[in-house]
A and B are shown apart, each in its own frame.
Chain A
């Protein structure tokens, strides 16, 4: 009996904590989004918060913005991450020293920088009177501050996209690199015997090998950007705002009536991320991404 229950007892503290603090919070939020709130005497269930949301253009604009920003940041991060990983891999191929290891470490740096700091770096670089604008002006390419495009606190979300592309590119390269490092050195020699140059080698061998891990990494970045708060809060505009910021604005707007709506936004956001998460899980299992190939 003890042997049978032992693993469940070992799991109990961790599961209990997550169920209580995390799923309890989700459930609490779900109830309140449905208007069930005994503390203020509301014990009926109603879906007005959801129907109001679906009818408001603000919600749909916010959803579109969120999707667009997440898509663009993940694609840019994917391209940049792949360039870093492939360059490091080719460097490692041609050099025997541990130099590649150091390079790899250096490129991981943005991963350790907190999101708020990453966002502020983008502010300093890309605002209209920012560092790049100053460089362009000194080079004589622009004459006025207004000539520099609005890239921070802009309605399109460029500042958010730039921050996430910068922060998440090392993550993408971190996910691809282990797969690449399993490409045997002899494959390179064989490719060369058949007359393949570096470019052909990358296109015919390196790219196909990394595609599964690459896709999954990009998708993870997408899901993460979809639900992140700090950077859009700092770099976005008040309207339209990304979903997490939209929810926060509703939650802190002061009127108690907006709170069920804020929590409804959260529940929709959670449902969407669960859906996206299941897609990632399905494909990563199917392609056996984390284990590579045999």
Chain B
């Protein structure tokens, strides 16, 4: 019994190293290298000059990070407002033409969003929405909204109407019913949807580029010239920063949610 497990563990370790570990090694090495000629497996000398450049105020990194996060959070907030009532209707009511409604809501998952963005580009141009953060936010909504609706629908599926009826019997109005019964139950779904929404918004390059016309500088827009033939050290540092921010946004959401439930537990424990 012991033997196959050890074999399995070592296979997994090898896989983990090749698939997850190895790809990041040159990225990290390159970002701290100072000259890295071909047959050397390690850079000749190390320096943090690139990180100093990337993290310094003058390189525009932080404004790009700010713009990226601002867009991602506005998009996510709008998505939550649109998706909660929609998910409610899709799960709890029998609708006529439900398949059509679902097809419309989930279409942007299958049809590539840049098709719609390229189509609407000239109209946005005429309306003065290009080169603005607002225009980019509008462009980011359709690729992210379906995932938010999907995630909240899963939460609604497990929420029984009885709980709300019970609250109604105890005299809770529609607002306090929503705030105290429905919302806490939906929260994990909202958090999952928000993580996806932030992640997808952060990783958009083409539609940001088309609508922002290079004037709305998000991280991917800032990064692209470097990775397509610029200084590899700068490109590596930006790549690490970009990936780090995406991962941190996810982990942050996860921790916030866990904390919420911990506080809740303590509160109900005391009560």
> Chain A residues in contact with chain B, CB under 8 A?
6-8, 10-11, 13-15, 17-19, 21-30, 32, 39, 80, 83-84, 87-88, 90-91, 94-95, 103, 106-107, 109-110, 112-117, 119-125, 129-131, 133-135, 137-138, 145, 166, 169, 198, 223, 227-230, 233-234, 244, 247-248, 251, 262-263, 266-267, 269-270, 273-274, 276-277
Contacts and interface: CB of A to CB of B under 8 A. Distances in A.
B26 interface: yes
Contacts of A24: 116, 120, 123
Contacts of A233: 205-206
B242 interface: yes
Contacts of A28: 119-120, 122-123
Contacts of A120: 27, 227, 235-236, 239
Interface stretch (B5-13, B164-172, B173-181, B259-267): B5-13
A122 B235 CA distance: 13
A153 B11 CA distance: 32
B246 A113 contact: yes
B250 interface: yes
Given A15-B105, A84-B15, A125 B26 contact: yes
B206 A229 contact: yes
A145 B112 CA distance: 38
A122 B25 CA distance: 12
Contacts of B232: 124
Interface residues of B, number: 78
A263 B118 CA distance: 7
Interface stretch (B46-54, B55-63, B82-90, B186-194): B82-90
Given A7-B89, A18-B105, A125-B23, 11 more contacts: A11-B101, A13-B82, A22-B113, A107-B16, A109-B20, A112-B199, A114-B246, A117-B223, A124-B26, A228-B112, A266-B114
Contact of B112 (A23, A87, A121, A244): A244
A6 B115 CA distance: 33
B86 A39 contact: no
Q: What 8 A-B pairs are tightest by C-beta distance, nearest first?
A: A29-B119, A25-B116, A25-B120, A277-B110, A14-B86, A7-B93, A227-B112, A7-B89
Contacts of B104: 15, 18-19, 23
16 contacts: A17-B141, A18-B105, A18-B108, A21-B116, A21-B139, A26-B119, A29-B116, A114-B202, A114-B203, A120-B239, A121-B24, A122-B23, A234-B228, A248-B206, A266-B115, A267-B115
B76 interface: no
B126 interface: yes
Contact of A247 (B86, B113, B118): B118
Contacts of A17: 82, 141-142, 145
B94 to A, nearest CB: 9
B243 A273 contact: no
B70 interface: no
B19 A273 contact: no
Nearest to B4: A198
A7 B119 contact: no
A87 B12 CA distance: 7
Interface in B108-162: 108, 110-120, 122-123, 126, 138-139, 141-142, 145-146, 149
B242 A114 contact: yes
Given A13-B85, A124-B232, A273 B111 contact: yes
Contacts of B255: none
B108 A22 contact: yes
A86 to B, nearest CB: 10
Contacts of A125: 22-23, 26
A14 B27 contact: no
Contacts, number: 234
Contacts of A166: 19, 23
A94 B6 CA distance: 10
Contacts of B24: 121
Contacts of A267: 115
A197 to B, nearest CB: 9
Nearest to B23: A121
A71 B145 CA distance: 28
Contacts of B220: 114, 116, 230
B105 A110 contact: no
B223 A15 contact: no
Nearest to B248: A112
Interface string B191-216: 00000000100110110000000000
A42 to B, nearest CB: 12
